[in-house]
Amino acid sequence: MTYFADLTPYTYLERHEDEPGLTDEPWPDLPLLNVGWLDAVHPFPTGAPPDGLMPALTDLAKTRVRQTRGYHFCEICIRDIGGDAREAIRLGMIARESAEFQVQGNGVVYAAPQLLLHYVSAHEYLPPAELCAAALGAMS
Whether residue 22 is predicted with pLDDT greater than 60 in this model: the reply is: no
- Total-model pTM: 0.87
For residues 37 and 3, is the Cβ–Cβ distance under 8 A?
yes
pLDDT above 90 covers a percentage of the chain that reads 61
Whether residue 95 is predicted with pLDDT greater than 90 in this model: the reply is: no
Bridging pattern class, strands 109-113 and 32-34: parallel
Least confident of 81-90, 103-112, 120-129: 81-90
Beta-bridge partner residues of 112? 101
Q: What is the mean pLDDT of the chain?
A: 88
Residue-wise pLDDT for 4-13, tens only, equals: 999 999 998 8
Mean pLDDT of 63-67: 86
